[in-house]
Each structure stands twice: as structure tokens, then as C-alpha cells.
Amino acid sequence: MLYFGDNGGVLHIVRASTGGVVGADRAHKGIWSAQVIDARSDVYFGTQGKEIVGYDHSGHHLFTVPSSGAVDSYPALTASGALIIGDERGILYAIGGTAPR
């Protein structure tokens, strides 16, 4: 799958092998940064609408976490699978992942 967002807040989901549109989610304000995709092909991103959002590989909504400000930063994944992303107010969020052993 290919995922990309736009300034209008639409997350586009396209099948990379065919170029066919799988879906789009228009529930967000502007998406100004890249998305990050994990090993399961789930996608995570931040929005100008002060949200951090996740979708599974089928396009089903996993979560929306409110942030204290717009999210322009690029997300990252840790070795344990935690999503790390910051907002414009300088708050760093760590979502999910497994506890170290």
C-alpha cells in the first residue's frame, strides 16, 4: 500500500502494485508531515488538527490521540514498536509498543 496525506487533511490509500485507490479518509485537518508505516503495514501520522492517528493495513481506524498542538514533525518507530511523535508545543508522545524484557 501507498499512503500519503495532503494539506486538505485527506489521507489517501493506494494499492502500489496496481495504482488503484483503496480509500481515503477526510476526517482530518491538514497533514503536513510524512506518515510512518510499521512491519504490519499499519500507518501513523499527525495532523494540523492536533491529533495523532493510526490505521491498520486494511484502512480501519486504530486510534486518535489528541495532542496539545498541531503535529508537523515526522513520526518514528522504536525497536519495541512504540510510535514517537512531537507537536508544535514541544510535547513528545510515545504511543504503544512493548515493554523491554
Residue 89 confidence class, pLDDT cut points 50, 70, 90: very high
Q: Are 55 and 29 contacting, i.e. CB atoms less than 8 angstroms apart?
A: no
Amino acid sitting at position 98 = T
Mean pLDDT of the chain: 86
Q: How far apart are CA 47 and CA 9, in angstroms?
A: 7
Contact (Cβ atoms closer than 8 angstroms) between residue 94 and residue 82: yes
Q: Cell for 98?
A: 512493548
**Longest alpha-carbon distance in the chain:** 42
The model's confidence at residue 99, banded by pLDDT at 50, 70 and 90, is: low
Q: For each of the domains in the chain, give its residue range(s) and CATH number, in order of start.
A: 2-95 (2.40.128.630)
Closest CA to 30 of 55, 5, 3: 5
Which of 61, 66, 60, 23 has the alpha carbon at shortest distance from 47?
Answer: 66
What is the mean predicted confidence (pLDDT) over 36-41? 90
pTM score? 0.81
The predicted model gives 25-47 an average pLDDT of 85
- Nearest residue to 44 (alpha-carbon basis) of 78, 16, 69: 78
